Amino acid sequence: MESERLLDLGPNADRAFVTKLHAGQFARDDTLKHAPIAIMFIAQGPSVDFVVGRIYSAVVQKTFDQMAKNDNNGASLPSDKWITDVSLLKPIAETKYRAANCDLIK
């Protein structure tokens, strides 16, 4: 199923990235240039899977915030306008998925 494949794709890519990062296989300048700065703050921990979990948590929170707390143009909504009903968030997520051509992710 496609959703399962995509669910595995992110953590597997994160594991490979964090493993290489911890092994010093990336030049610091390249890492700072290509990886979100927040990743550098959360990329430390007792194990690769711990860090992958932190990355996953950060991505889930940011994604929720973008869908629930911003309008279609990305402008912040007042807190009383936040969308918290899952049945309303699902079509927003599906639209963003299609608009970003995420089905092209291999």
The predicted-structure confidence for 41-67, as pLDDT tens digits, reads as follows 888 889 999 999 999 899 889 888 988
**N- to C-terminal Cα distance for the chain?**
13
Q: What pLDDT does 36 receive?
A: 83
Q: Are 67 and 83 in contact (CB under 8 A)?
A: yes
- 79 CB-contact burial (10 Å; exposed 0-12 / middle 13-18 / buried 19+): exposed
Q: What pLDDT does 7 receive?
A: 80
Q: What's the pTM value of the predicted model, to 2 decimals?
A: 0.75
Dist. CA 32–CA 30, nearest whole Å:
5
Q: What pLDDT does 106 receive?
A: 61
51: Cα within 13 Å, side-chain hemisphere:
22
